[in-house]
Amino acid sequence: MSIFKGSGVALITPFKKTRKGNIRVDYENLERLVNYHISNRTDSIIICGTTGEASTLSDREHLETIGKCVEFAKGRIPVIAGTGSNETPHAIKLSQGAEERGADGLLCVTPYYNKTNQEGLKLYYKRIASSVDIPIIMYNVPSRTGLNIEPQTAIEIGKENENIVGIKEASGNINQVKEIAKSKTLDIYSGNDDQIYDIIKEGGIGVISVFANLFPNEAHDIVYEYLYGNIEKSRQLQQEAQEVIKELFNDVNPIPVKKAMELEKMCRGIIKEPLVELNEEKTKRLVKAINNYKNKKA
């Protein structure tokens, strides 16, 4: 059974500064964002992923943020927690902690930096899957991790682990997506906002989206217009969004989306070092793209 269909927002983690200048998670604003997404047809919330700057959070902050998100969602839509790591026992610890705090599912990125090989990937996901009872989506993002889940590996992992039910595909390789889709083993989610239509066309059922932070209704519609059979409408909506999607990735994610959300007064634009503020030129391009996109929809 699918954890969700449609648009899952790869939610940013809102931060605030204490009087001493320390950066902490802004739970008041997190609650506001959760309610905003539920009110605007987001189909699932993915908390503490790459866009949520999870790698900059302590384990305590990481698990507390997951727990707060579950509390704020109140069962209205699924909450999927990012819990992958470059050390298997650490990934297991985070996964079990997320399950204990009520997460509906997990998003587990492949090991990064130290990486592994395809056999190591199978063991990594097997260890995590056997440690929890909730469903798991694998996250394949070679541009971040330096490691690709080969299609046959993904298929074997899905067949051998009952609670591994999906894959977030951000390899950019549509042929790889096609091969996984043919097996009918895993739910496929686009991990690239500029490929939502293309991946749904090949058998995907949704997206885990940065774009949805700003435009939740629109991300939902790109998926569901296709699923409802309105294929040309889905393609048109994807095309209309391409400029703003491009500018939301004009620097390292989540630098641009955090800046955009600050400008839209949705949260403070605080990011954690080593990430830095979006520069003036890129900010102007981003603002122009957002305004152009809003005008198209007006």
Model confidence over 117-132: pLDDT tens digits? Answer: 999 999 999 999 999 9
Tell me: cis bond preceding 254? Omega within 30 of 0 counts.
Answer: yes
Structural domains of the chain in order of their starting residue, each with its CATH number: 6-231 (3.20.20.70)
Q: 119 by DSSP, 3-state: which?
A: helix
* pLDDT at position 172: 96
Helices and strands in the chain: count of H runs, count of E runs? 12, 10
For residues 137 and 103, is the Cβ–Cβ distance under 8 A?
Answer: no
Q: How many CB atoms lie under 10 A from the CB of residue 156?
A: 17
- The secondary structure element, H or E, covering residue 244 is helix 231-247
Residue 296 clears pLDDT 90, i.e. is over it:
no
Summarize the confidence of residues 231-239 as an average pLDDT.
Answer: 98
Q: Which residue type occupies 182?
A: K
Alpha-carbon distance of 275 to 268, in angstroms, equals: 15
Residue 1 pLDDT > 80: no
Tell me which residues are annotated as active site: 139, 168
Which pLDDT does position 226 carry in this prediction? 98
Comparing 296 with 57, the larger pLDDT belongs to 57
pLDDT in tens, 249-285: 999 999 999 999 999 999 999 999 999 999 999 999 9
pLDDT digit string, tens, across residues 85-117 = 999 999 999 999 999 999 999 999 999 999 999
User: Two tokens at 256?
Assistant: 């641009």
pTM, two decimals, is 0.97
